[in-house]
Amino acid sequence: MEFFKYQGTGNDFVMIDNRSLGWKPVSVEQVRQICDRRFGIGADGLILLEELEGYDFKMVYYNSDGRESSMCGNGGRCISRFVNDLGPRKPEYLFKAIDGDHRARVNEQEVSIQMKNVEGISTLENGLFVDTGSPHHIVMENGVEQLSLVEMARVIRYSEHYRKEGVNVNFVETEGEGKIFMRTYERGVEDETLSCGTGVTAAALSAYQQGRVNTTTVHVRTRGGNLKVSFVPGREGFEDIWLTGPAESVFKGTISL
């Protein structure tokens, strides 16, 4: 079967054009094998491009642990680039993901997708919680680059509060006016990833809500590159949220399944 490899700020994905194939993974283990960096292609996740009436396409996303997962922001940007590369090209796409409808805009430099509206941010004893299509725990911290992130994040990810569904854990610090730096531990990958689109969105909104930035466009630096989040604050949440950054093709090939 033919596959394509895409990455967005270091978040990498195996893409399969499933519109005429109708292929489904036969098991969790099969997805794990495809995403394995030693015995498979290697990726943070597997994405199937599918057809859906009334939409330009449907996105089906599996984490590298083999399970179909919640929304992936960088994956949404990468599949939008994939669709644009396959053609025909359009100024704007409408697609369906597990958390609902999204719009996407693609140009040569970057891809923007509209994220779901966020109703509010919850304050917890040890951080903030926000759902941006995937659940995120945000910790505002100093010296984020030097943190033992995996060790610290796993304490939160496997805590009693999140035991049932799990959570992505993000450590965030302000770097200047309208700028933050973020590191992410992703559930399903169960490790640090170089970038996380829903996490970047959650971090930007949380930083604004906490008064750590006061601009409605927040520039977010991750270990994999730079992203931008723009939004409209509402009375109790945020609307018209757009995640923007680079997304590109890496290579294509065939794999025996």
Which residues are annotated as catalytic?
72, 196
Cα gap 62→35, rounded to integer Å? 10
Q: Is 153 helix (H, G, I), strand (E, B) or coil?
A: helix
- Cβ–Cβ under 8 Å, residues 57 and 79: yes
Amino acid at 23: W
Cβ burial of 236 (10 Å; 0-12, 13-18, 19+) is: exposed
Best CA proximity match to 35, nearest among 64, 9, 75, 2? 64
Residue type, 87: G
* Residue labelled with tokens 């910790």: 139
CA–CA dist 80, 74 (Å, integer): 10
Long-range contacts of range 155-164, CB-CB < 8 Å, 24 or more positions apart?
Answer: 156/126, 156/127, 157/185, 157/187, 161/124, 162/135, 162/137
Residues 6+ apart with CB under 8 A from 159: none
